[in-house]
Amino acid sequence: MSESSSTRTPTGDPGGRSSSATTPPEVPISEQPGSPAAPQPPASEKPKKRPGDRIFQNLTTGAGVFVVALIGLIGLFLLIQAIPALQADNANFLTNHGWSTNDPANMSFGILDLLEVTVATSVVALIIAMPVSLGIALFLTQYAPKRLARPFAYVIDLLAAVPSIIFGLWGILVFAPAIEPFAQWINETFSWFPILAPGNVAPSVRGTIFTAGIVLAVMILPIITSLSREVFERTPTPHIEGALALGATRWEVIRTTVLPFGKAGYVGASMLGLGRALGETIALAVILLIPQGKNFDWSLFDGGATFASKIAANYSEFNNEISAGAYIAAGLVLFVLTFVVNFAARSVIGKKGD
């Protein structure tokens, strides 16, 4: 009894290896010999689309084509309506500073002043709004506690809902008188610098590019801030945590992770703000003074009119097709200008994304 028990071989190999090491793996039933293979669709056969998928695809395609066609038709309408006025123009439309369309038989108008004032006010607004928006967006996403960031973001977004006429009245009745001593000091102290020289509406420093640019910056601030904040919030958390784990400070985290990730979105948001500034109408029509017999000379203390404010202020002249065509021609230039800005923005975003 003891002999038989002592000579009994233990379960498994003599070397002590487990029996599971020599057990072949189980083969799925579908792969066992003789079992029927799972049916595979023919390589050339495309999956059938459900009727709902086809309907949705056609609707979305039609919506995209409709938007493109609508933009093209708007541009074509502006061009057709502007041609008669351009043919009746006695001056160079692109290089003339004056604007005289009261007499349809003797019109002389050009867009150079309008283009320069439009670009000047928009650039001043963008230069002011971009760094301020960047600072606000970084504060709300990286520094402010959530209980403060949420209501503060709502307040910034509410600025976008304020009507343009309110901004215009606030700018000319409240802000311009308040900032007049400072503007006067800058104008007198740095008058030797061309862009700060006395303007074409001197001695007034209220209804100028300087005032209009600051008000316009406040108007485009919510757009740039909101979009930039959304981009910065989507910075991958592992990138931020990894930088902090390596001993980076909060500013180093922003500089090495947040800003590189959100740079393209920030530039795109700024370009959208620029597009908003280029088309602003009522606020600038209320603020800007129209100079008498003087052209725009690239001073921040010049007055003038933008494309949009010029069209809005002279709507009463639209009772004649030829005179109205002159303003439609100006609108066509603004239409093309916004396209150029958006195309440049897409190019910048594409390069940053690469």
pLDDT tens, residue by residue, 204-251:
888 999 999 999 999 999 999 999 999 999 989 898 889 888 888 889
pTM for the complete prediction?
0.80
Q: What are the tens digits of pLDDT across the range 10-46?
A: 444 444 444 444 555 555 554 555 555 555 655 556 6
Closest-CA residue to 337 (of 349, 345, 107) = 345
Angstrom distances, CA of residue 164 to CA of 7, 177, 219: 102, 19, 8
Residue 111 has pLDDT above 50, yes or no: yes
| pLDDT confidence bin for 7, thresholds 50/70/90 | very low
Per-residue model confidence (pLDDT) at position 16: 46
Per-residue model confidence (pLDDT) at position 53: 83
Closest-CA residue to 270 (of 308, 231, 225, 337) = 225
Q: What is the mean pLDDT of the chain?
A: 84
The answer to whether the CB of 207 falls within 8 A of the CB of 287 is: yes
| pLDDT confidence bin for 98, thresholds 50/70/90 | confident
Token pair 């074509």 is at which residue? 76
- β-pair partners for 99: 109
Q: What are the tens digits of pLDDT across the range 294-311?
A: 888 899 999 999 999 999
- Phi and psi (nearest 5°) for 319? -80, -5
Per-residue model confidence (pLDDT) at position 23: 54
Q: Which domains does the chain have, with CATH numbers?
A: 63-353 (1.10.3720.10)
